[in-house]
């Protein structure tokens, strides 16, 4: 490999362009994929088949990639998924709506609270109920905290893949702080099951918002640290710029969503385009890249972390008093002391637990902007307490399906960086 890269950048300088963003460093990325001809003539035309995964730390789960290599260059990539398939959708057809919520924790387990909220948003559309204002703001807080967790895990693990260890520790330290908050709220760190149709499992405990404020005051400092460490780091830039480029047309055609789509320059964010939970009333920006490469995906996700902090600050400022759950005994369990002392409440409790709430006949598809992209739940109800069909539209599944297009022509070592940039969670892909 004689293709040279020109890296003209001092480590950790803080140069900002006129738009306030870090200046991009042009690299000789066009020379990456082409091996010089005739280096070893006897090996020319010999292709090698290699297998990455399913048990490989850099595949972020049990993903298996079969790669055909010409030297070090990937000629063809055939992904295999399904090693974690558990049949969530099938099981959901045998469960009442509230009983499905624990399954939503376990698909995209980095965004469990976001999945819980997304699920009940769809179910509430199906039931035709309107949640309380406090619940709406609390759910926004839950979703943005999940986004922060997911992006931090993505950032940390991608750093490990590319060879940086320090930001990984910073990210996971901050992630731990968010998990402490979620644990104080729902009692669980990963498998939160924090929502119910018509409300939440519980209101936030006393003093919880102070903990969130403390997190929000410290978190941007960590982000600045990571920014200084990575954004203009010569190694980081050299290993990410120009890799896995998707043009805007391609990205749309392949069904990419979330940061993958926005890094390619398509400004599509479900929170802005099809708003839910009052996202249209929050003041936040949608970062959009231009090159559609791994580096732009990093920039987009990194900026989304800052925007999530903005949203969280606004949500905290407007968090109203009042009930969290709707006042509807057909959907919300009565308090325990009432269920054990009042006839009416006991009957409601019994019917809710034994029969479950019944939505009207109908169907709905409710998408949300999960950290991975457009996540949608599609419900079909025939009027009984269990859905006829519960479909998860998994964003990282569709994003991953474009990996052959992204890695073919690149070097084997770049496959790791490109695969990391997709931000896959195999629990969601295999379901």
Partner 1 sequence: MSANPPTAPGAPTFAIVYPGQPGDVAPVTPTQVPHRGGPANPSVDALRARFGAAIGRHEIVWGETTVYVARDQVAAVCAWLQADPTQRYEYLSDVTAVEYRDPMRPIEVVWHLRSIAYRRFLRLKVELPKDGSALEVPSVWGVWKGADWLERECFDMFGIRFVGHPDLRRILLWEQYAEGHPLRKDFPLRGRFSRAEQLRNALAADPEARYSMEELSITDAFAQLPEDMRKRLGGGARTGE
Q: Which residues pair with 376 in a beta bridge?
A: 367, 393
**Nearest CB to partner 1, comparing residues 350 and 365:** 365
Taking the complex as a whole, the smallest distance from the CB of residue 160 to partner 1 amounts, in Å, to 24
**Nearest CB to partner 1, comparing residues 164 and 398:** 398
**Nearest CB to partner 1, comparing residues 144 and 186:** 144
**Nearest CB to partner 1, comparing residues 102 and 255:** 255
If DSSP codes are grouped into helix, strand and coil, which group holds residue 39? coil
Taking the complex as a whole, the smallest distance from the CB of residue 375 to partner 1 amounts, in Å, to 10
Give which of 301, 270, 247, 280 is closest to 376, Cα–Cα.
270
**Nearest CB to partner 1, comparing residues 162 and 245:** 245
Taking the complex as a whole, the smallest distance from the CB of residue 102 to partner 1 amounts, in Å, to 17
**Nearest CB to partner 1, comparing residues 136 and 175:** 136
If DSSP codes are grouped into helix, strand and coil, which group holds residue 83? coil
Cα 265 from Cα 304, distance rounded (Å): 15
CB of 125 within 8 A of CB of 143?
Answer: no
**Nearest CB to partner 1, comparing residues 322 and 360:** 360
Is omega for the bond preceding 395 within 30 degrees of 0, making it cis? Answer: no
**Nearest CB to partner 1, comparing residues 68 and 313:** 68
Cα 414 from Cα 423, distance rounded (Å): 15
Residue whose structure tokens are 């079969």: 66
DSSP assigned state of 61? B
Q: Which residues pair with 78 in a beta bridge?
A: 66
Taking the complex as a whole, the smallest distance from the CB of residue 132 to partner 1 amounts, in Å, to 12
CB of 312 within 8 A of CB of 145?
Answer: yes
Q: Which residues pair with 373 in a beta bridge?
A: 370
Give which of 51, 34, 79, 67 is closest to 402, Cα–Cα.
79
Taking the complex as a whole, the smallest distance from the CB of residue 183 to partner 1 amounts, in Å, to 31
Check residue 166 and give left, alpha or beta (phi > 0: left; psi -120 to 50: alpha): alpha
Cα 367 from Cα 347, distance rounded (Å): 35
Taking the complex as a whole, the smallest distance from the CB of residue 265 to partner 1 amounts, in Å, to 9
If DSSP codes are grouped into helix, strand and coil, which group holds residue 166? helix
Residue whose structure tokens are 């964003």: 395
Taking the complex as a whole, the smallest distance from the CB of residue 267 to partner 1 amounts, in Å, to 5
Taking the complex as a whole, the smallest distance from the CB of residue 308 to partner 1 amounts, in Å, to 14
**Nearest CB to partner 1, comparing residues 133 and 342:** 133
**Nearest CB to partner 1, comparing residues 129 and 178:** 129
Q: Which residues pair with 370 in a beta bridge?
A: 373
C-alpha distances (whole Å) from 70 to each of 48, 51, 211, 285 are 7, 14, 54, 43
**Nearest CB to partner 1, comparing residues 214 and 267:** 267
Residue whose structure tokens are 């009983």: 99
Residues near 42 by Cβ (< 8 Å), separated by ≥ 6?
none
Burial 66-83 (b: 16+ CB within 10 A, else e): ebebebebbeebebebee
Is omega for the bond preceding 105 within 30 degrees of 0, making it cis? Answer: no
């Amino acid at each position: 490999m004689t293709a040279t890269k020109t890296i003209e950048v001092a480590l950790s300088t803080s140069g900002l362009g006129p738009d306030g963003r870090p200046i991009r460093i042009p690299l000789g990325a066009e020379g990456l994929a082409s091996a010089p001809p005739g280096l070893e003539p006897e090996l020319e035309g010999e292709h090698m088949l290699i297998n990455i995964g399913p048990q490989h730390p850099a595949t972020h789960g049990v993903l298996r990639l079969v790669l055909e290599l010409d030297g070090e260059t990937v000629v063809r990539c055939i992904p295999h998924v399904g090693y974690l398939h558990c049949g969530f959708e099938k099981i959901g057809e045998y469960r009442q709506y509230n009983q499905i919520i624990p399954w939503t924790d376990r698909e995209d387990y980095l965004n469990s609270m976001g999945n819980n909220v997304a699920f009940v948003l769809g179910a509430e559309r199906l039931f035709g109920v309107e949640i309380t204002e406090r619940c709406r703001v609390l759910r926004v807080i839950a979703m943005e905290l999940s986004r922060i967790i997911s992006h931090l895990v993505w950032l940390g693990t991608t750093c490990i893949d590319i060879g940086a260890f320090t930001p990984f520790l910073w990210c996971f330290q901050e992630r731990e702080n968010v998990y402490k908050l979620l644990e104080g709220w729902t009692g669980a760190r990963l498998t939160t099951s924090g929502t119910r149709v018509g409300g939440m499992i519980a209101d936030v405990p006393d003093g919880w918002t102070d903990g969130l404020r403390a997190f929000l005051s410290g978190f941007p400092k960590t982000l600045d640290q990571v920014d200084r460490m990575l954004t203009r780091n010569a190694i980081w830039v050299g290993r990410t710029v120009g890799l896995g480029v998707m043009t805007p047309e391609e990205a749309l055609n392949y069904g990419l969503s979330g940061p993958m789509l926005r890094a390619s320059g398509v400004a599509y964010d479900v929170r802005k385009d099809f708003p839910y939970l009052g996202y249209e009333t929050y003041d936040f920006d949608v970062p959009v890249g231009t090159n559609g490469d791994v580096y732009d995906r990093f920039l987009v996700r990194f900026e989304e972390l800052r925007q999530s902090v903005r949203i969280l600050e606004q949500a905290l400022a407007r968090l109203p008093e009042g009930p969290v759950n709707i006042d509807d005994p057909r959907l919300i369990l009565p308090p325990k002391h009432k269920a054990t002392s009042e006839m009416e409440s006991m009957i409601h409790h019994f019917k809710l637990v034994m029969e479950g709430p019944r939505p009207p006949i109908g169907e709905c598809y409710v998408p949300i902007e999960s950290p991975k992209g457009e996540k949608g739940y599609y419900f079909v109800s025939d009027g009984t307490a269990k859905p006829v069909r519960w479909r998860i539209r998994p964003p990282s599944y569709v994003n991953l399906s474009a990996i052959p297009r992204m890695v073919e022509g690149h070097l084997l070592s770049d496959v790791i960086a490109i695969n990391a940039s997709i931000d896959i969670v195999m629990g969601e892909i295999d379901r």
